[in-house]
Amino acid sequence: MTIHVVGAGVAGLAAALALAGQGHAVVLHESTTQAGGRCRALPDGTDNGTHALIGANKAALGFLERIGARASWVEPEPGGLPVLDMRDGRAFRLALSPFGWRDPALRPAGLSTAALLALARLALPLPDRAVGAAMAAHPEFLRGFLDPLVVAALNTPVAEASAHRLGAVLRRLGGPGATRLFVARQGLGPDLVAPALAALERGGVALRFGVRLRRLVLASGRVAALDFGGDAITLRPGDAAVLATPPWESQRLLPHLPVPDGYAPIVNLHFDHASPGPVRFLGLLEALCQWVLVRPAGVSVTVSAGDDAAREDQATLAARAWAELRRAALAFGLAGDWPEAVPPCRVVKERRATPRHTPGPPPRPPLLPMANLALAGDWTDPVLPATIEAAVLSGEAAARGAAKTAAGAARP
Ligand SMILES: Cc1cc2nc3c(=O)[nH]c(=O)nc-3n(C[C@H](O)[C@H](O)[C@H](O)COP(=O)(O)OP(=O)(O)OC[C@H]3O[C@@H](n4cnc5c(N)ncnc54)[C@H](O)[C@@H]3O)c2cc1C
């Protein structure tokens, strides 16, 4: 009995790892020449985009633990997030946890009992609406705290972001350490993708790269074969598959599948600028740059929900971003030189980075669209936003579903 996993993004990697851990024979098929999907290293080793996790992402951190990479994800700002407000040049530290707000120095601007009550209401199961409208009475708290949180977690501007999706995030922020922020010390290649592939190889998973699933051959409510073009794999009774492809590709393969209506871009700028200090992570308000990750090998800027940035030319983006991040680096006394001249910059525009999480009922694709086929992917979670956490959870759920169908078919 073999379980085929299609797509080597985080969801596919998590599914394959879980299945191998249960002793199944697993083959992982990936259309490109590398693993990681939307969370990958580019050929020159640069991350496609900065990926951050928080302590509440228990499934994602557990996955890192199982592949032996947990210690490679470091907490750059344990004393509170350094933030530069470009509106008035104020540089301050911000606690991400409400428990940290007991210290007035770490409180977000505009914090009040009424703002906290309005925030708490977002976590209640009330009719869905846009976060911006729900928090309109608290503009300073929205601007200084919620807007960056929403854009980072939902990759959707506050004016259109779903309060339900945000509520799912807020409900998970209460536990101890839930708001601790982690980033890959070196990059997604060495700190996620390579250790995941090594763990799969140790578990006996066969890895196939450069093979695109062209078509699912369906018969009697099950998948009869996986057609990779010229290379078709017949599924025997007891075999099963996990489809861990992005939504548009899953819908191409299964046209009746409900998928998200729209997608939002994330733009990342990677500056070739060595920095001698430790890994740092800064936030900016009222700026093009939302987050700045400073690693010894380079400096990366994230622009989530970056519809405008995705249209702008690369030289203009680089000049704007460097001027902003340089100001932040100098304001917080970051180690090293921060010259005015813009260093060489690589701009990565991921146009369909995640679904847009707007108000209204999310698509609810079935876990098992066919008797021997389970579905995975960040977009399949109807509650959490599309993130590494959702991808890992979906992969693990699909692994359970596929293993169950395989076990059921094997029974006499
Ligand atoms: C720039 C950027 C920044 C982000 N930042 C964060 C962050 O800070 N924190 C966070 O938690 N999340 C972040 N995310 C979201 C996170 O990357 C995704 O939620 C996650 O990687 C999705 O994984 P997935 O496996 O569901 O899908 P994908 O990564 O899309 O994986 C699908 C895989 O299937 C392959 N494939 C497609 N079609 C076929 C086919 N026909 N046959 C075989 N293989 C196929 C693809 O090549 C791909 O490898 C970010 C995303 C981007 C783009």
Structural domain boundaries, residue 154: 98-172
Q: Which of 387, 389, 392, 394 to mutate to test the pocket of ligand 1 (most atoms within 8 A of CB)?
A: 387
What is the model's pLDDT at position 412?
57
* Whole-number pLDDT of residue 294: 98
Q: Give domain status of residue 325, yes or no.
A: no
Which sign does the torsion angle of CA 323, 324, 325, 330 carry?
positive
pLDDT of residue 411: 62
118/89 Cα distance (integer angstroms)? 28
Q: Which of 245, 300, 380, 393 to mutate to test the pocket of ligand 1 (most atoms within 8 A of CB)?
A: 245
Residue 163: CB partners within 8 Å, gap ≥ 6?
A: 122, 126, 128, 129, 130, 131, 134, 359
Atom of ligand 1 nearest to the CA of 32: 47
β-pairing, 2-6 vs 240-243, is: parallel
Same-domain status, 371 and 255 = yes
In this structure, the answer to whether residues 143 and 205 fall within a common structural domain is no
Indicate which residue's Cα is closest to atom 19 of ligand 1.
387
Q: Which of 172, 205, 229 is the last residue of a domain?
A: 172
Residue 348 lies in a domain: no
With contact defined as beta carbons under 8 Å apart, do 122 and 153 qualify?
A: no
Going from the Cα of 5 to the center of ligand 1, the distance in angstroms, rounded, reads 15
152, part of any domain: yes
pLDDT tens-place values along the chain, 412 residues long: 899 999 999 999 999 999 999 999 999 999 999 999 999 999 999 999 999 999 999 999 999 999 999 999 999 999 999 999 999 999 999 999 888 999 999 999 999 999 999 999 998 889 999 999 999 999 999 999 999 999 999 999 999 999 999 999 999 998 889 999 999 999 999 999 999 999 999 999 999 999 999 999 999 999 999 999 988 999 999 999 999 999 999 999 999 999 999 999 999 999 999 998 899 999 999 999 999 999 999 999 999 999 999 999 999 999 999 999 999 999 999 999 999 999 999 999 999 999 999 999 999 999 999 999 999 999 999 999 999 999 999 999 999 999 998 777 666 5
pLDDT of residue 405: 87
Specify if 120 maps to a domain: yes
Contacts 24+ apart (CB under 8 A), 220-227: 221/370, 221/371, 222/370, 222/371, 222/372, 222/373, 223/370, 223/372, 223/373, 226/4, 226/6, 226/29
Same domain, 255 and 366: yes
159, 193: one domain = no
- Tell me if 324 is assigned to some domain: no
Q: Are residues 193 and 150 in the same domain?
A: no
Question: Cα(265) to centroid of ligand 1, in Å?
Answer: 13
How high is the pLDDT of residue 280? 98
**Last residue of a domain, which of 140, 172, 204?**
172
CA distances from 344 to 45, 298, 304, 347 (A): 16, 10, 22, 10
Residue 93 counted as domain residue: no
CA of 375 to the centre of ligand 1 (A): 14
83, 93 contact by CB (below 8 A): yes
Same-domain check for residues 205 and 256: yes
Residues in the ligand 1 pocket, defined by CB under 6 Å? 6-12, 29-32, 37-39, 48-49, 51-52, 212-213, 244-246, 249, 266, 268, 350, 353-354, 377-378, 386-389, 391
Question: What's phi and psi for 108, nearest 5 deg?
Answer: -70, 155
112 and 165 in one domain?
yes
Q: What is the total count of domains within the chain?
A: 2
Specify the CATH number for the domain of residue 234. Answer: 3.50.50.60
Last residue of a domain, one of 127, 146, 172: 172
Nearest CA to ligand 1 atom 20: 388
